[in-house]
Structure 1
């Protein structure tokens, strides 16, 4: 099963712990993914123009260096990954409390209002009404941080309740199925699971470094595609067995194989492996 990988994802995924990318390795891995040298060169040129990388040297002899600001922005949220797997393992339970956020940002601050709404959805919130969102997680600190950064914290109201009803529906499981697109979330994880199964078999057979890095990049791209839109609802609110947990378990096995096989593991995959280390 092929995986669509953006060129800049390849570049960012191959950043080492010292913040550099070996151009020779970049071109080799990108070539394995079906990308032309010209495609890579244009991507690097854009990344340099965006001040995300600097380049020392030319062509395949070059070394790309990620700027400090870009490194901070690109770092995966290790705590988020750790929470995800702890919840999948049953180490995090839901207390039955719904956490609600309401905001009334004036039209004069429309860009901030749109940005806050996008942030709330990105954090897993589901819309109950216009300007009113809900999550089963304690997300107040995260939402407050987003609102404060946008300068609209004074327009935001936080509340929590163990008694949530939409129309006549009050069952937490049925509410979750109504409020979040579980079929779409499951479909993305079903694809992730299939991608991970195929890659795991190849990793267990043993592969050369360039193939290992290609597999790692493909997994990272598909993992991000599946997980970023996932609200990570507590297992008690989801159908059982939940394909999301199954897919992520397969990916964790792949990360372990990558970590065991690779010298000079890129920083991204080292962070993933470190996040899972405590759960093994």
Structure 2
């Protein structure tokens, strides 16, 4: 095992609490969704043990993900298989299409504003969380906004939570200059980009040594799976906090760009060996996992064989 990968894996294993559910979500989104989204629990337990997750911890985490409507159980005989729910698929699709994007979204000065004043406290708390996952920033207690929101995703969240008749969405273009000093000041108020930049720097410091080592030596299929899983796991943790703002609204030396490029470069080097390991170790009720779909090959602008 490379020195850099050993350090990354050890760093994960020593975290307390060890968030098994979060790592399982990463594996479902990165490895299993492109192959149908189902796996035998026993095979999942086996591939998770080298990450420091014992069988009891994995079973408990999977049970909780089932309670939270991420997964649904499919018992067959003495074996249990777990499939992503429809709600889980929606959440995975929204999050992971940002994670595997090759660049920041194009922007022409448009903004989307969500007015939450007609919601009760519980509804407002729920919608704030879900819009935050889409990158919306909070302007005031009852108002959120984003400069490049995917309106389809926003409307789907409103429909799925029966809030489409209680929330006003306003779409418009900024008059005059596309970027103004007032706009940049407002961005600093709505989003904590300084803290986010520090997270990206930690990601760069963690994974740049691995990229350098892979240029000089190879790793086996299991290690490639571990490296790819932790790469996406760490990147996903940051991306969930990243509002995915257009480049025009970010500083010239924004290190999120370098982190995205590093993640794409490492993924390109790791994906084929990791896929071989996934095919050899994980099972569905019908036997081996099916091949990854074509969407998988479009990650980070296109994976090269």
Which TM-score applies when normalising by structure 2? 0.71
> Structure 1 CA distance, aligned partners of 2:91 and 2:111?
31
> Offset of 1:18 from its aligned partner?
4.6
- 8 Å contact kept, 1:27–1:37: yes
Give the distance between the partners of 2:191 and 2:62, measured in 1 at CA: 38
Q: Is 1:228 matched up with 2:228?
A: no
Alpha carbons of structure 1 residues 55 and 203: separation in structure 2 relative to 1, 3 Å:
farther
Aligned to 1:72: 89
Aligned 8 A contact 1:99 1:137 in 2: yes
Q: Secondary structure at the match of 2:135?
A: coil
Distance 2:211 2:93 in 1: 22
Of 14, 28, 53, which aligns to 2:73?
Answer: 53
Cross-structure match for 2:285: none
| Cα drift, residue 119 of structure 1 | 2.2
Query: Aligned-pair distance for 1:244?
Result: 0.7
Aligned position for 2:263: 251
* 2:298 corresponds to which of 244, 256, 274: 274
Indicate if the aligned counterparts of 1:47 and 1:53 stay in contact, CA closer than 8 A. no
- CA RMSD, Structure 1 to Structure 2 (Å): 3.5
User: In the TM superposition, what is the alpha-carbon distance from 1:231 to its structure 2 partner?
Assistant: 0.5
Instruction: Please name the residue that 2:127 is paired with.
Output: 116
Q: Which of 144, 147, 169 is equivalent to 2:155?
A: 144
Which runs of no fewer than 5 residues in structure 1 stay unpaired? none
Rate the CA distance shift 1:115–1:23 in 2: closer, same or farther, 3 A: closer
Distance 1:30 1:152 in 2: 38
Tell me how far 1:230 sits from its aligned partner.
0.5
Aligned to 2:226: 214
Q: Secondary structure at the match of 2:102?
A: helix
| Corresponding residue number in structure 2 for 1:99 | 112
Paired position in structure 2 for 1:133: 144
1:6 Cα deviation after fit = 2.7
Gaps of 5+ in 2: 1-7, 280-288
Distance 1:202 1:54, change over 3 A: farther
Cα drift, residue 22 of structure 1: 5.7
**Normalized against structure 1, the TM-score is what?**
0.76
1:86 to 86, 103, 111: 103
Using the alignment, how far apart are the partners of 2:135 and 2:91 within structure 1?
Answer: 20
Deviations, residues 18-50 of structure 1 (Å, cap 9, x unaligned):
544466654444232222333234334555677
Instruction: Give the deviation of 1:227 after TM superposition.
Output: 0.2
Name the CA shift for 1:22/1:258 in 2 (closer, same or farther; >3 Å): farther
Query: In structure 2, how many angstroms separate the alpha carbons of the residues matched to 1:202 and 1:24?
Result: 33
